[in-house]
Amino acid sequence: MKHFLDITNETCPMTFVKVKLQLAKMDAGEQLEVLLNKGEPLENVPRSCEEQGYKVLSNEPTDHEKHLILIEK
Amino acid sequence: MNVPTDKKKISIVCFSGDFDKMVAAFTIATGAAATNREVTMFFTFWGLNALKKDKGRIAMGKSILAKAFNFLMGGLNNLPLSRLNFFGASPKLMSMMMKQHNVATLPELVEAAHALDIRIVACEMAMKILEVEKSDMIEEVQDVVGVATFLNDSENSHIIFI
Domains of chain A: 2-72 (3.30.110.40)
Residues B131-157 have a mean pLDDT of 95
Catalytic residues of A: 12
Q: Is B108 on the interface with A (CB under 8 A)?
A: yes
Residue B98 neighbours by CB under 8 Å, 6+ apart? B104, B105
pLDDT digits (tens, 9 = 90+) for A16-73: 999 999 999 999 999 999 999 999 999 999 999 999 999 999 999 999 999 999 999 9
Q: Residue A46 and residue B145: Cα distance in Å, rounded?
A: 36
Decide: helix, strand or coil at residue A60: strand
Question: Which pLDDT does position B2 carry in this prediction?
Answer: 55
Contact yes or no for A17 and B34 at CB 8 A: yes
- B25-161: what fold? Hypothetical Protein Ychn; Chain: A, (3.40.1260)
Question: Which pLDDT does position B5 carry in this prediction?
Answer: 59
> Which residues in chain A are closer than 8 Å to B10, comparing Cβ atoms?
none
pLDDT digits (tens, 9 = 90+) for B13-59: 999 999 999 999 999 999 999 999 999 999 999 999 999 999 999 89
- The answer, yes or no, to whether residue B140 has pLDDT greater than 70, is yes
Question: Which pLDDT does position A7 carry in this prediction?
Answer: 96
Question: Which pLDDT does position B6 carry in this prediction?
Answer: 74
Interface pTM (ipTM) of the complex? 0.88
Give me the residues of B, 3-22, that contact A with CB < 8 A: 3-4
Residues B97-114 have a mean pLDDT of 95
Contact yes or no for A11 and B103 at CB 8 A: yes
The pLDDT > 70 percentage for chain B reads 97
Contact yes or no for A13 and B112 at CB 8 A: yes
Q: Residue B18 and residue B143: Cα distance in Å, rounded?
A: 23
Question: Which pLDDT does position B147 carry in this prediction?
Answer: 95
Q: Residue A69 and residue A35: Cα distance in Å, rounded?
A: 7
